[in-house]
Every structure is written in C-alpha cells, then in structure tokens.
Amino acid sequence: MMNKYLYAYEDLASILTKEEILLDEPMRNHTWFEIGGTADVLVIPNSVDKLVQIIEYVRKKDIPTFLIGNGSNLLVKDGGIRGIVIKTDKINGITVKEDTIVAECGALLEEISKKALDASLTGFEFACGIPGTLGGAVFMNAGAYDGEMSFVLESVRVITKDLRVITLKKESLEMGYRTSIIKTENYVVLDAVIKLSPGRVEDIKEKIDDLTHRREERQPLEFPSAGSTFKRPTGHYAGKLIQDAGLKGYQIGGAQVSEKHSGFVINKDHAEAKDVLNLISYIQSTVLDKFNVELCTEVLIVGED
C-alpha cells in the first residue's frame, strides 16, 4: 500500500536530520511487547524545541499523530499506525536543584530515580522499576508500590491543542487512577518539575533494592510484555481474578497469560497483536462470567487491524 505521508519526509527534514526520520518503520522495534505493524513515518527528535516544531507542523497539516516514549505500556496492532509517530526517548535531560528535579518528557523513570538517589532525595523510589518515560508517566499517572506521579509532581509544561505552551501546576493536573488532564485534553508533555524530600542515601538505596528485588521475583521480565495488562478493579486484584479463573498459562497463538504472574500477558512465542487481543478478550469474558467483574485494559492499544 502506498505511504500517503511520504510528502512529510522533506518537510520534516527541515526540522530533523534524515537519520531521525524513519519511513514504514516496524513498531515491533519500538515496543516492549516486540509486536506491531509499521508506522508510516516515525520521527525521533532529540530536543524539546524540535518536538514543539514537529507538533506545530503536524497540527497545521492535520496529520494523524501518536506519541510514544519507551513503548513499555503499548500494544500496536498488526496493521500498524497511519500518519506520524513521534518517539520522545532522546529528549531526556534531567537536572537536579536542591530538592527538585526537572526532567524532560523522554527521561526514563529509572534514570530519574538514580539522580534522586545520587542527590539524597526521597519520594521517587516507587518509580525505580517502572520502565517508562516521564511523559508517559505523567499522561497516565503511573504508579507502583503505593506511590504514583501525582504524589511528586509540582508542575508540568505542555503543548495544548491550540499550540500554546503552558505550565500546569499540580492542582490543575486532574490526576486520578491512570489518568490526568494530559490524557483527557490530548496535551503533549514537554518537561516537568518533581518535588522530593531530603533523605539518607542508605535508606533510599535500601528501598530501591527492595522494590527491585520484589519486581524481579514476581514479574515475568524474561519475556516481552507491556507490564500489567489490566487496571486494578475496585476491591479486587486483576492477577488473582485471572488465576482463580484457571487461566494462568493459558495461551492463544504466541500470547500467554504469564505462569509467573497472571496479571501479565506475555509475548511467549513470536505473538502477533491479534493473539494478544484475542487472549485479552477471552480473559475479560471469562472473568466477567465467573466473578461478574469487568477487567479494563491498562495497556494502551493503538493502530489498525
């Protein structure tokens, strides 16, 4: 099929180097699931200024656009993504000043956690094992081990739908369980200020080591996945419901319910997106039938069939 967005290549080349623009790029190369069809155009800017210029360009040209960070919470369908995908993981500056950290949208949470440790700042330990970027974490109010982004954010700088660059204070972020105003209003995160507290390096490191051990012990990190497949239903744990439904190890095509943690759907054997989607649907219908509990996906599902 003809790539209808080839014309954008030359336009984007005035903003980016040609090495930063990829045509008909397999999205399996850019997701932790290692699954997904091709993106018409994938761009990898290395600065906030370039990102702003790209957003201005695609909005003015009305080109469908999708942003990704580290691709850790993403399932791209087998038909791929039409339009332009912007990958932000090269926009990853991190600056520490007293008890605050300013991080750009593509900075890895793990790297921010290390910077906090080095500066004897506590409060960000919960994110040490979340494999995403700051932009994605703010977008979905990522959290783990009784911590979440809403606890530590002071402000976020974004691009609005009408191409204004504004700063949102914490009280304006409307953060809830796996959501925020960034998500509901389709804003683009540029950078954020994280507010932490002074602590003892030994205590911070001990907590990070403990959380890392718990993650490695309980999660199927040896297989490609997108992390927890489902949101936590009120009053329940998704993994336990799936296990109690007898689905641990259940497999469709190359996709499997992890035998290590039933809350994870893994790419066990060269799975396609359709295998994962069929397995997710089967899990949802089985759990609803057995326990009358609706499971909603936490993994972001995008693209065409």
Annotation marks residue 232 as catalytic: no
* DSSP per-residue codes, 170-235: GGGS--BTTB-HHHHTT-EEEEEEEE-EE--HHHHHHHHHHHHHHHHHHS-TTS-B-S--BPPPTT
Give the other-Cβ count within 10 Å of 134's Cβ.
31
Annotation marks residue 294 as catalytic: no
Annotation marks residue 178 as catalytic: yes
Q: What angle do CA 244, 249, 254 make, to 5 degrees?
A: 140
Which residue among 113, 155, 228, 262 is the active-site one? 228
Compute CA 194 distance to the chain's CA centroid, rounded to the nearest angstrom: 18
Which residue among 34, 150, 178, 215 is the active-site one? 178
From the number of C-beta atoms within 10 Å of its C-beta (0-12, 13-18, 19+), residue 26 rates as middle
> Which residues are CB-neighbours of 35 under 8 A, at least 6 positions away?
27, 28, 75, 76, 224, 267, 271, 272, 273, 276
Give the other-Cβ count within 10 Å of 280's Cβ.
21
Structure tokens of 260?
């290590």
Beta bridge partners of 192: 103, 156
What are the catalytic residues?
178, 228, 298
